[in-house]
């Protein structure tokens, strides 16, 4: 029948465009969680994109001080279209590694045109839809506990104020600081959920690549800096 193949081609084209539109409009969901009770720490970051087809999980189940350095046990899990990959390793964070990280950041900032502007524009697309942060602390002395409680509350509100200037707050943040006047203690638990449209994330990545390529050496220079020992 005349025109029959063209009908299927058009239907296939519309279906393809629909899939692309749904992918662009889908959210990249980022979930963060951290908790400290006494000497026990745990932190976790989860990222989900394309309606769960792509998943990433980064977890720090153990954090220990070792002299002047911080020993961290890390676990990384990535899921792509149902295929899981796990990596587990230990890392030690010391003064030298922190100094190298700061030096790398300065070099990248110098090499990339208006990197701060790019970061500010990208973060403005992020929606913060949940923020919970509870803390309980005590020093063993009522007066010092009250002062410490006020100081922690001030730090929390300052951090939230800074974040609210960079991203879009979509719900009222929940925060609390409870004093423990009976004995020395410290417990804190934090969680948040943020999201950005997949289309915006892709666009931000393309913009970053374009800025990197404008500098002599481009992406290769970035790689040399980031993966240099």
pLDDT digits (tens, 9 = 90+) for 15-32: 778 878 888 888 999 999
pLDDT at 167: 92
Quickly state the pLDDT bin for 132 (edges 50, 70, 90).
very high
Residue with tokens 């970053």: 208
* pLDDT confidence bin for 1, thresholds 50/70/90: very low
Does domain 26-93 bear CATH number 2.20.25? yes
Residue 40 contacts residue 188 (beta carbons within 8 Å):
no
Output the six-digit token pair for 93: 């964070």
Q: Looking at the DSSP assignment, which residues form a beta bridge with residue 55?
A: 48, 79
What's the confidence (pLDDT) of residue 15? Answer: 73
Domain spans in the chain, listed from the N-terminal domain onward: 26-93, 114-213
Reported as a pLDDT band with limits 50, 70 and 90, residue 177 is very high
pLDDT band at 156, cuts 50/70/90? very high
> What per-residue string of b and e applies to 30-46 under the rule 16 or more CB within 10 Å gives b?
bbbbbebeeeebebbeb
For the whole model, what pTM was predicted?
Answer: 0.77
Least confident of 34-43, 48-57, 120-129: 34-43
Q: DSSP assignment of the chain, as one string?
A: -TTHHHHHHHHHHHHHHHHHHHHHHSEEEEEEEEEEETTEEEEEEEEEEGGGTEEEEEEEEEEEEETTEEEEEEEEEEEETTEEEEEEEEEEE-HHHHHHHHHHHHHHHHHSTTHHHHHHHHHTT-EEEEEEEEEEEE-SSHHHHHHHHHHHHHHHHHHHHHHHHHSEE-S--EEEEEE--SS-EEEEEEEEEEEEEHHHHHHHHHHHHHHHHTSTTHHHHHHHHHT--
The stretch 56-61 carries a mean pLDDT of: 78
| Pick from 173, 168, 167, 165: nearest CA to 190 | 173
**DSSP assignment string, 122-145:** HHTT-EEEEEEEEEEEE-SSHHHH
State the pLDDT at residue 56: 86
- What pLDDT is recorded for position 174? 93
Max mean pLDDT range (11-25, 60-74, 81-95): 11-25
Calculate mean pLDDT across residues 110-126.
82
Residue 95's pLDDT band, with cuts at 50, 70 and 90, is low
Does 184 have pLDDT greater than 60?
yes
Which is more confident, 138 or 219? 138
């Amino acid at each position: 029948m005349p025109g029959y193949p063209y009908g299927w081609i058009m239907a296939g084209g519309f279906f393809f465009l629909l899939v692309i539109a749904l992918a662009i409009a889908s959210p990249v969901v980022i979930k963060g969680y951290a908790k400290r009770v006494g000497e026990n720490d745990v932190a976790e970051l989860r990222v989900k994109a394309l309606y769960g087809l792509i998943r990433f999980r980064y977890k720090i189940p153990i954090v220990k001080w070792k002299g002047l350095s911080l020993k961290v046990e890390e676990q990384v899990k990535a899921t792509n279209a149902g295929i899981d990959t796990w990596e587990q390793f230990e890392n030690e964070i010391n003064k030298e590694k922190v100094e190298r990280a700061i030096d790398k950041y300065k070099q990248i900032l110098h090499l990339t045109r208006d990197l701060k502007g790019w970061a500010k524009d990208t973060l403005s697309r992020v929606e913060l839809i949940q923020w919970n942060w509870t803390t309980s602390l005590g020093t063993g002395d009522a007066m010092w506990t009250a002062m410490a409680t006020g100081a922690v509350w001030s730090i929390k509100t300052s951090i939230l104020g800074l974040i609210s200037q960079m991203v879009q707050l979509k719900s009222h943040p929940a925060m609390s600081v409870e004093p423990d006047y009976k004995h020395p203690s410290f417990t804190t638990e934090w969680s948040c959920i943020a999201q950005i449209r997949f289309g915006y994330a892709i666009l931000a990545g393309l913009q970053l690549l374009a800025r990197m390529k404008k500098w002599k050496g481009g992406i290769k220079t970035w790689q040399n800096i980031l993966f240099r020992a």
